[in-house]
Amino acid sequence: MGKRWKILGVAGIFALVVGAESSNKPKIGALPDKPPEPPDNPTTPEKVELGKLLYFDPRLSGDGSVSCATCHDPNHGWAKKRVMSPAYPENKHFRHSPTVLNVAYNMLMFWDGRAKSLEEQAEKPILSPFEMNMNYDLLEERLKAIPGYVERFKKAFPGEKDPVNIKNVAKAIAAFERTIVCNDSPFDLYMKGDKNAMTPEQVKGMKLFVGKAGCVQCHNGVNFTDDKFHVTGVPKHKLESNALVAATRNFVLREAGFKNPESIDRDLGRYFLTKKEEDKGSFKTPTLRNVSLTPPYMHNGVFKNLDEVIEFYDKGGGNVPNKSKLLKPLNLSDEEKANLRAFLEALTCKNVPVVEEPELPEYKN
Is position 160 annotated as part of the catalytic site? no
List, in order, residues 6 or more apart from 252 with CB less than 8 Å away: 94, 272
* 86 in contact with ligand HEC (CB under 6 A): yes
Whole-number Å distance between alpha carbons of 363 and 150:
11
Site for ligand HEC (CB under 6 A): which residue of 139, 206, 210, 215? 215
Measure CA 340 to chain center.
Answer: 22
Choose one: 15-23, 34-42, 278-286, 347-355; the region binding ligand HEC (CB under 6 A).
278-286
Task: Give the three-state DSSP class for 52.
Answer: helix
Q: What is the nearest approach in angstroms of ligand HEC to the Cβ of residue 67?
A: 7
Strand segments (E) across 12-165 = 17-18, 28-29
Per-residue x/- track, 227-246, ligand HEC (CB under 6 A): ---x-x-x------------
Residue span 318-347 as binding mask against ligand HEC, x where in contact by CB under 6 A, dash where not: ------x-xx------------x-------
Residue 213 interacting with ligand HEC (CB under 6 A): yes
Helix axes 166-177, 45-56, angle to 10 degrees: 100
Q: How far is the CB of 356 from ligand HEC (least distance, A)?
A: 18
From residue 272, alpha-carbon distances to 114, 241, 280, 281, 290 in Å are 10, 17, 8, 9, 28
Contact 349, 184 (CB under 8 A): yes
The reply on whether position 270 binds ligand HEC by CB under 6 A is no
Q: How many CB atoms lie within 10 A of CB 297?
A: 19
Q: Among 30, 198, 291, 349, which residue sits at the site for ligand HEC (rule: CB under 6 A)?
A: 291
Chosen residue from 31, 101, 107, 132 binding ligand HEC by CB under 6 A = 132
125 binds ligand HEC (CB under 6 A): yes
Whether omega before 296 lies within 30 degrees of 0, making that bond cis, reads yes
Per CB under 6 A, does 110 bind ligand HEC? yes
Q: What is the C-alpha separation between 242 and 29, in angstroms, rounded?
A: 41
Return the range that interacts with ligand HEC (CB under 6 A); candidates 40-48, 83-91, 159-167, 193-201. Answer: 83-91
Say whether residue 171 binds ligand HEC (CB under 6 A): no
Residue from 16, 17, 100, 180 in contact with ligand HEC (CB under 6 A)? 100
Phi, psi of 109 (to 5 degrees): -110, 150
Long-range contacts of 61-69 (CB under 8 A, 24+ apart): 61/88, 61/126, 61/131, 61/132, 61/133, 61/134, 62/88, 62/132, 62/133, 62/134, 62/135, 63/88, 63/89, 63/133, 65/89, 66/131, 66/132, 66/133, 68/100, 68/122, 68/125, 68/173, 69/357
Q: Which of 37, 119, 120, 131 is catalytic?
A: 131
Among 105, 111, 157, 190, binds ligand HEC (CB under 6 A): 111
d(CA 104, CA 97): 16
Binding piece for ligand HEC, criterion CB under 6 A, among 18-26, 27-35, 290-298, 350-358: 290-298
The one among 18, 50, 53, 103 contacting ligand HEC by CB under 6 A = 103
Shortest Cβ 79–ligand HEC spacing (Å): 7
* Gap between the Cα atoms of 241 and 284, Å rounded: 23
- Measured CA distances, 78 to 73, 180, 232, 350 (Å): 4, 9, 25, 15
Judged by CB under 6 A, the residue of 68, 139, 172, 342 near ligand HEC is 68
Which residue number, 327 or 342, has a Cβ lying nearer to ligand HEC? 327
Question: Which has the closest alpha carbon to 220: 34, 1, 3, 7?
Answer: 1
For residues 20 to 59, the per-residue mask of contacts with ligand HEC, x marking binding by CB under 6 A and - elsewhere, is ----------------------------------------
Q: Which residues bind ligand HEC (CB under 6 A)?
A: 66, 68, 70-72, 85-87, 93, 95, 97-98, 100, 103, 106, 109-112, 118, 121-122, 125-126, 131-132, 173, 213-215, 217-219, 230, 232, 234, 283, 285-286, 288, 291, 294, 297-299, 306, 309-310, 313, 324, 326-327, 340
Among all residues, which ones are annotated catalytic?
131
